[in-house]
Amino acid sequence: MEKDVKSSKKNDLKDKSIKAPISSKENILKYAAKEFLKKGWEKSNIRDIAKKAGLTTGAVYFHFKNKEALFDALVKDTYFELLKKQKLMYEKHFAIPITEKEKRRVVRLEGRKEMLEYAYRNFEAMKLLLCSGKGTKYEDLFDKMMNAVYEADRKAYEEYGMLQGRPHVDIELFNTIDRSFWECLFRTIKMDTPYEKAQRYVLILDDFYEAGWQKICYDPAESYALE
């Protein structure tokens, strides 16, 4: 009998957890994300978010100080974690001797794949950052990433001292090419590309850019001489 009572209580708890309503805070975040993605952060307002969530504006302000705090709750962790992963990728890359070129490439590719996987696991936050962050303190995500890319390019350029005698190759070219890689990669988020397809893209992009690097860095400089 006692066993049956315990079993009954366990089932009651299970049923309650299944039927538990979404909290007001979760509901607010859900509709805030939809509103930000639709209108952008700048053109969205608390009143419309509250209305969509079926709440009063006071209920929203009870949980969030302002619109900035709402966006912060949706993207903050993803923003900092992505920058952290990028930093770690470059640290691993440069920890490998310059003579082990293929090993460096593998580490770099794995780092990019890991960043893509993280971005897709946090797809909504990433799309908010890339498409709806204008006007927020997070709108600099891509610029911050590109600053890290520039520093990595500068270091790589200094390592490859042999390129100094090649007038067609300079740090600006290095950075322009690398920047375009990341723009291509994150376009998958902006365009709602399925993850399986994005995974193939990162492999194709890596092959494409690697072939280009090989050509401009190691082919005869005369190939790019202006007539």
Q: What is the pLDDT of residues 1-11, one digit of tens each?
A: 545 544 554 45
Percent of the chain with pLDDT over 70: 82
- Angstrom distance (rounded) from CA 224 to CA 227: 9
pLDDT for the residue numbered 175: 82
Q: pLDDT (tens digit, 9 = 90+) per residue, 16-62?
A: 444 434 588 999 999 999 999 999 999 999 999 999 999 999 999 99
What is residue 156's predicted lDDT score, i.e. its pLDDT? 75
- pTM score: 0.81
HSE, side-chain direction, 13 A CA sphere, residue 29: 15
Overall size of the chain counted in residues = 227
pLDDT surpassing 70 at residue 116: yes
Scanning 20-134, the segments in alpha helix (DSSP H) are: 24-39, 46-53, 57-63, 67-95, 101-121, 123-131
Quickly state the pLDDT bin for 150 (edges 50, 70, 90): confident
The single residue listed with the structure tokens 């309503």 is 21
Q: How many CB atoms lie within 10 A of CB 199?
A: 16
- Distance (Å, rounded) from C-alpha 130 to C-alpha 82? 12
Q: What is the mean pLDDT of the chain?
A: 85
Kindly state the DSSP code that residue 66 receives in the 8-state scheme. S
Neighbours of 33 (CB within 10 A): 21
Q: Round to whole Å and give the CA distance between 8 and 6.
A: 5
